[in-house]
Chains A and B, each alone.
Chain A
Amino acid sequence: MNIKITHNWLLDYLETDATADQIREYLSLCGPSIESIEKIGNDYIYDIEVISNRIDYASVFGIAQEATAILPMFGKKAKLKSNPLKDLKFSKIKLGQGYDLKVKILNPNLVSRFTAVIYDGITIKDSPQFIKDRLSKVGIKVINNVVDISNYLMLTFGQPIHMFDYDKITGHHMIVRESKKGEKLVTLDEKEIVLPGGDVVIEDGSGKLIDLCGIMGGLNSAINSKTKRVLLFVQTYNKSKIRKTTMSTGQRTIAATFFEKGLDEERVEATTVAASELIEKYCLGKVVSKIQDIYPEKYKGKVIEIEQEKFDRLIGIKIDPKTIVTILTNLGFSVEKKDGNYSVAVPSHRKYDITMPEDLIEEVARIYGYHNIPSRLQPPAYVEQPKEMEDLFVFQNRIKIFLKHLGLNEIINYSMISLRLIEAFGLDSKKHLRLSNSISEDIEYLRISILPSLYKNIIDNTGKKEVMRFFEIGKVYLPKKDNLPDEVYKLGIAVNTDYFDLKGIVEALYKELNISDLRHPDEGRDPDIIEQNGFFMIEIDLQTLINNYHQVPKYQPISPFAVIKLDKTFELDNNMTYKMIEKKAFQSKLLQKIEVISLFENKLTLRFYYSSASENLTEETAKTELAKI
């Protein structure tokens, strides 16, 4: 997630001599990444990336806390002007009486802190100018004083706030509980939400739901221009409950993106007190209740032990112990150092993300500055690559380059194909693995053959290229019982030319790899070549090619004896195919090879090469051999 804050807003809490550009540069190197900075009037707007484990800095105050640790490392002054966590205590709120809220929390695991205060005499009107200005600058819609104050404080402290119209809460009861499946609630944005069950909700005295906790309030208890009494509501929730609900209902509100990451209960008090001050000042509200504050499990703190040596080993250089202590202290940790070891107490706002020594190493290393750590390659080490893995890659590459040089185009297709394509190809969808959450029916089944994809490529490219010769090397996924599928590399080739074109490509590949093609010695037509709609395709197992490959062909000594070349023309028909001629011709032990010279209609001219390994043949002997065919 990203948040936007302004430079002047930040200066409410941060005292520094760093410029806005310096803040951007230094914070991005050592902490929150400030992705952009924009000058508006005399202020700057920072757009800041908040990484998922650091929701604690997703606020003006949170960024000020980071800045006080980071900027001094760059020689800049930086300290907090005030610390709301210390200054803003409940004791600052002047309590009132006359109104009350009865709260029942059915499951203490839902809400880690529950705080509420009631105000009377509210006047709904425009917010003061500084709030309107700052909210508009960071892109938040200005509505009225009550709503704006909630949004303003959410950005100031990173703690979302909700305000109910107190008079709309029937019986002034709140029961915090888990929803039942199918319960309904209309949220402030007038959407009816049907709850999946197990969501944190609040029910009023009459049994209706008034809040989808941590996500959005109910429309039935919303503030409007007639509102006189408001209930200020500041809570922290069980983060995984909130995440589940926001995801399953699709209500991705800003509040939810905060609550789902787990907020610091210790900030609830400061936020409540700050809200109270603004409500009294800008909404003319008076406190007419006591403060409800239910906080059953106060954070007791935790201590992590770490040795100096551990810092040095993982960072790779020795960091001065004084620097370590300064960095951690500036980040809000309390450090006790004895005999090269550190006992580090973790502050409340870091309790979720700091759990082990490596987390502290990260804190020290980043503030020290990754740019200050030298760069050097690790010492060399020899690791044996498994032969079968090496072969897969070496051969894939060899074959790809060879086919490219023959003029073929390589394609990489999605591993998933559609049911339509499977069926068009005459395959059985049940023999495929299926995705249970596919986002498109075009990519629903894991392919067991490369050919349907290549077939589709030819069809899709019709009109874009006249002569198409495509190939792909990739895995197919053959389902197995009670196990992961076999992932097998296949070579697929598809052409829109003709059978002999494809056959020639396959023969050339076999020659290139010095494999004698023994796939189907007795069949004339290559049965692996299939035809679909006039396109020709073949699929070959990569491993078969690897297994039969020879680096160099078998060496043949050069014969010192003459070779007799004889041409002969045949008329082909069903009883006289090339394969038959070839079979017969090779019954002669003197025949070395046959070459096709020409084919005109059904007249095939062949050239026969005869020679003997032991003597010079005469032309007569060769002719006798040829005549036997």
Chain B
Amino acid sequence: MDFEKYKSNINSANSLKKIDELEIKFLGRNGLINELLKKIKDIPANEKKDYGQKINQLKINLLQLIEVKRKELKGKKSGEFFDSTLPGKNYPKGSLHIVSFAIEEITKIFEKIGFIRVSYPEVDWEYSAFEALNMPKGHPARDDFETSYIDYPEGSKFGKMVLTPHTSNGQNREMRRAKKPPIRMINISKCYRPNWDTTHTPMFFQFEGLCVDDNISITHLKGTLDYFAEKYFGIGTKTRLRPHHFQFTEPSFEVDVTCTVCKGTSKVNGLRCKVCKSGWLELGGTGMVHPNVLSEGGIDPKKFSGWAFGFGIERVIMMKYSLDDIRNYYSGDVRFLEQF
């Protein structure tokens, strides 16, 4: 078993033909290995195992040497020009919708602080979409140019059937499902409004956060918004609240985050930032859950409090990646979609 000799035989082979010959010589039916194996009957019984293992190891080593040499010889292919700058083999890439990326990212950010993602109807009763959110009949948001209605018999209990104009219908449904605090919800869903122009599509996505517990205060809402802004838009992103009005929160706020382009400085290369007004970009609406909304959800507003927000997915994508033509999102143009 002169391994070194075999090795140098293989390494000095200079053609594929020679390698084939060596392979037969060593590993063929009547080759070296089989010859050695035949001799096993002459080996004392107590050494047979050891002998067998040695032969097997030799076989593996020879196989490897032959394969390496064969590849090397194939690569050279008798001096033909070999362009190693060519692109590699083409594997399919495919694409995910940009909204899918955002949904996953947002879900994960909130999962880490204990929020569960839920799924509630997109076609719902007026009750869940309005009454339960402190928006009684006659509220402007219920006008039929603000909300899409379904041609369906009106129910005596819950009113007409609507396409949810926001993800907030999930608030009442989650309170009813959980029955009692703590509630930590993130509801991501399609929403619909009868509005179709350069900056609106009749379908869009929102993500809704809801937190209800003992002694939830504005400090917690601020903490959560700061956390989200830093995780989603990047470290150093700041938020601010401005007074606003929504029926289902009191107090109500609008949230701004520092502009993703000028980083809140309102200047880019010494010129005024074209993206933001004064260093801030508007993110969306938020506030402390209105006592009527808690009561409608079966939660005692004297014992518990909460915060809620509802932001547009398209909006955060736009802010993060400057993808501003929202009409491309759902028109199905593959030239837009396949980029992601």
Contact present for A487 and B122 (CB under 8 Å):
yes
For residues 396 through 450 of chain A, which have their beta carbon under 8 Å from a beta carbon of chain B?
397, 400-401, 403-416, 433-440, 443, 446
Bitwise interface map of B from 116 to 141 toward A, beta carbon under 8 Å scored 1, else 0:
11110111110000000000001010
Q: For residue B116, which residues in chain A have a CB less than 8 angstroms away from its CB?
A: 383-385, 389-390
A435 touching B151 in the complex, CB below 8 Å, given contacts A313-B215, A358-B251, A464-B335: yes
Bitwise interface map of B from 147 to 170 toward A, beta carbon under 8 Å scored 1, else 0:
011111101000001010000000
Cβ of A373 within 8 Å of any chain B Cβ, yes or no, is yes
Q: How far is the CB of B290 from chain A (nearest CB, A)?
A: 7
Cβ contact of A392, chosen from B104, B119, B149, B196, cutoff 8 A = B119
A405 touching B227 in the complex, CB below 8 Å, given contacts A377-B113, A437-B194, A487-B122: no
Cβ of B72 within 8 Å of any chain A Cβ, yes or no, is no
Q: How far is the CB of B92 from chain A (nearest CB, A)?
A: 3
In the bound complex, CA of A585 to CA of B155 (Å): 60
Cβ of A382 within 8 Å of any chain B Cβ, yes or no, is yes
Contact present for A404 and B95 (CB under 8 Å):
yes
In the bound complex, CA of A377 to CA of B145 (Å): 38
Q: How far is the CB of A312 from chain B (nearest CB, A)?
A: 8
Contact present for A404 and B94 (CB under 8 Å):
yes
A487 touching B94 in the complex, CB below 8 Å, given contacts A315-B218, A410-B100: no
Q: For residue A579, which residues in chain B have a CB less than 8 angstroms away from its CB?
A: none
Q: For residue B32, which residues in chain A have a CB less than 8 angstroms away from its CB?
A: none
A437 touching B125 in the complex, CB below 8 Å, given contacts A377-B113, A393-B107: no
Q: Tell me which of A47-55, A182-190, A333-341 binds B.
A: A47-55
By beta carbon, the residue of chain A nearest B205 is A412
Q: How far is the CB of A74 from chain B (nearest CB, A)?
A: 15
Q: How far is the CB of A390 from chain B (nearest CB, A)?
A: 8
Task: Determine the main DSSP class of B at the interface with A.
Answer: mixed
Cβ of A598 within 8 Å of any chain B Cβ, yes or no, is no
Contact present for B250 and A409 (CB under 8 Å):
no
Contact present for A409 and B138 (CB under 8 Å):
no
Cβ of A468 within 8 Å of any chain B Cβ, yes or no, is yes
Q: For residue B184, which residues in chain A have a CB less than 8 angstroms away from its CB?
A: 381, 383
Contact present for B143 and A247 (CB under 8 Å):
yes
Contact present for B149 and A435 (CB under 8 Å):
yes
In the bound complex, CA of A476 to CA of B109 (Å): 28
Q: How far is the CB of B303 from chain A (nearest CB, A)?
A: 11
By beta carbon, the residue of chain B nearest A36 is B277
By beta carbon, the residue of chain B nearest A30 is B243
For residues 319 through 337 of chain B, which have their beta carbon under 8 Å from a beta carbon of chain A?
329-335, 337
A403 touching B196 in the complex, CB below 8 Å, given contacts A358-B251, A381-B114: no
Q: For residue A313, which residues in chain B have a CB less than 8 angstroms away from its CB?
A: 215, 217, 305
Cβ of B97 within 8 Å of any chain A Cβ, yes or no, is yes
Cβ contact of A373, chosen from B203, B218, B329, cutoff 8 A = B218
In the bound complex, CA of A383 to CA of B185 (Å): 9
Q: For residue A437, which residues in chain B have a CB less than 8 angstroms away from its CB?
A: 144-145, 148-149, 194
Q: Tell me which of A114-122, A136-144, A454-462, A515-523 binds B.
A: A454-462
Q: Range of interface residues on chain A?
A: 35 or more
Cβ contact of A435, chosen from B100, B150, B332, cutoff 8 A = B150
Cβ contact of A358, chosen from B219, B224, B288, cutoff 8 A = B288
Contact present for A371 and B240 (CB under 8 Å):
yes
Q: For residue A317, which residues in chain B have a CB less than 8 angstroms away from its CB?
A: 217, 219
Q: How far is the CB of B321 from chain A (nearest CB, A)?
A: 16
Contact present for A435 and B163 (CB under 8 Å):
yes
Contact present for A411 and B97 (CB under 8 Å):
yes
Cβ of A376 within 8 Å of any chain B Cβ, yes or no, is yes
Q: How far is the CB of B3 from chain A (nearest CB, A)?
A: 29
Cβ of B220 within 8 Å of any chain A Cβ, yes or no, is yes
Cβ of B316 within 8 Å of any chain A Cβ, yes or no, is no
Q: For residue A359, which residues in chain B have a CB less than 8 angstroms away from its CB?
A: 250
Q: For residue B145, which residues in chain A have a CB less than 8 angstroms away from its CB?
A: 437
Cβ of B213 within 8 Å of any chain A Cβ, yes or no, is yes
Cβ of A169 within 8 Å of any chain B Cβ, yes or no, is no
A380 touching B113 in the complex, CB below 8 Å, given contacts A316-B220, A410-B97: yes
In the bound complex, CA of A313 to CA of B271 (Å): 44
Q: For residue A406, which residues in chain B have a CB less than 8 angstroms away from its CB?
A: 92, 94
Most buried by B among A317, A434, A456, A475: A475
Q: How far is the CB of B318 from chain A (nearest CB, A)?
A: 16
A-B contact count (CB 8 A): 242
Contact present for A389 and B151 (CB under 8 Å):
no
A373 touching B222 in the complex, CB below 8 Å, given contacts A389-B118, A407-B94: yes
Cβ of B67 within 8 Å of any chain A Cβ, yes or no, is no
Cβ of B49 within 8 Å of any chain A Cβ, yes or no, is no
In the bound complex, CA of A219 to CA of B314 (Å): 46
Contact present for B334 and A464 (CB under 8 Å):
yes
- Please, how many residues of chain B have a CB less than 8 angstroms from a CB on the other chain? 88
Contact present for A461 and B122 (CB under 8 Å):
no
Cβ contact of A405, chosen from B92, B118, B124, cutoff 8 A = B92
Q: For residue B178, which residues in chain A have a CB less than 8 angstroms away from its CB?
A: 383
For residues 470 through 515 of chain A, which have their beta carbon under 8 Å from a beta carbon of chain B?
470, 475, 477, 482, 484-485, 487
Q: For residue A113, which residues in chain B have a CB less than 8 angstroms away from its CB?
A: none
Contact present for B245 and A52 (CB under 8 Å):
yes
In the bound complex, CA of A389 to CA of B96 (Å): 21
Contact present for A365 and B251 (CB under 8 Å):
yes
Contact present for B140 and A243 (CB under 8 Å):
yes
In the bound complex, CA of A414 to CA of B194 (Å): 13
Q: For residue B100, which residues in chain A have a CB less than 8 angstroms away from its CB?
A: 397, 400, 410, 412
In the bound complex, CA of A393 to CA of B97 (Å): 15
Q: How far is the CB of B45 from chain A (nearest CB, A)?
A: 24
In the bound complex, CA of A385 to CA of B174 (Å): 11
Contact present for B332 and A413 (CB under 8 Å):
yes
Bitwise interface map of A from 223 to 255 toward B, beta carbon under 8 Å scored 1, else 0:
000000000000000001001000100000000
Contact present for A378 and B216 (CB under 8 Å):
yes
Cβ of B236 within 8 Å of any chain A Cβ, yes or no, is no
In the bound complex, CA of A374 to CA of B217 (Å): 10
Cβ of B253 within 8 Å of any chain A Cβ, yes or no, is yes
In the bound complex, CA of A356 to CA of B134 (Å): 14
Contact present for B291 and A358 (CB under 8 Å):
yes
Cβ of A314 within 8 Å of any chain B Cβ, yes or no, is yes
In the bound complex, CA of A393 to CA of B108 (Å): 12
For residues 213 through 254 of chain B, which have their beta carbon under 8 Å from a beta carbon of chain A?
213, 215-220, 222-227, 240-245, 250-254
Contact present for A415 and B190 (CB under 8 Å):
yes
A316 touching B219 in the complex, CB below 8 Å, given contacts A381-B182, A412-B99: yes
Q: For residue B175, which residues in chain A have a CB less than 8 angstroms away from its CB?
A: none
Cβ of B29 within 8 Å of any chain A Cβ, yes or no, is no
Cβ of B299 within 8 Å of any chain A Cβ, yes or no, is no
Q: For residue B216, which residues in chain A have a CB less than 8 angstroms away from its CB?
A: 378
In the bound complex, CA of A574 to CA of B178 (Å): 59
Cβ contact of B93, chosen from A366, A380, A386, A407, cutoff 8 A = A407
In the bound complex, CA of A29 to CA of B99 (Å): 32
Bitwise interface map of B from 186 to 223 toward A, beta carbon under 8 Å scored 1, else 0:
00001010111000001100000001010111111011
In the bound complex, CA of A8 to CA of B145 (Å): 39
Cβ of B338 within 8 Å of any chain A Cβ, yes or no, is yes
Q: For residue A381, which residues in chain B have a CB less than 8 angstroms away from its CB?
A: 114, 182, 184, 213
By beta carbon, the residue of chain A nearest B94 is A404
Contact present for B96 and A415 (CB under 8 Å):
no
Q: For residue A371, which residues in chain B have a CB less than 8 angstroms away from its CB?
A: 240-241
What are 18 contact pairs spanning A and B, CB under 8 A?
A247-B143, A313-B305, A362-B250, A362-B252, A370-B222, A376-B223, A377-B113, A377-B220, A377-B224, A383-B183, A403-B94, A407-B92, A409-B95, A409-B337, A412-B99, A412-B329, A436-B144, A465-B338
Nearest first, the 5 A-B pairs at minimum CB distance are A407-B92, A316-B217, A316-B219, A362-B251, A381-B182
Extra inter-chain contacts (6) besides given A375-B225, A389-B117, CB under 8 Å: A36-B277, A383-B114, A389-B116, A393-B119, A433-B150, A440-B196
Residues on B close to A: CB < 8 A? 92-97, 99-100, 104, 107, 113-119, 121-125, 138, 140, 143-145, 148-153, 155, 161, 163, 177-178, 182-185, 190, 192, 194-196, 202-203, 211, 213, 215-220, 222-227, 240-245, 250-254, 277, 288, 290-291, 305, 329-335, 337-338
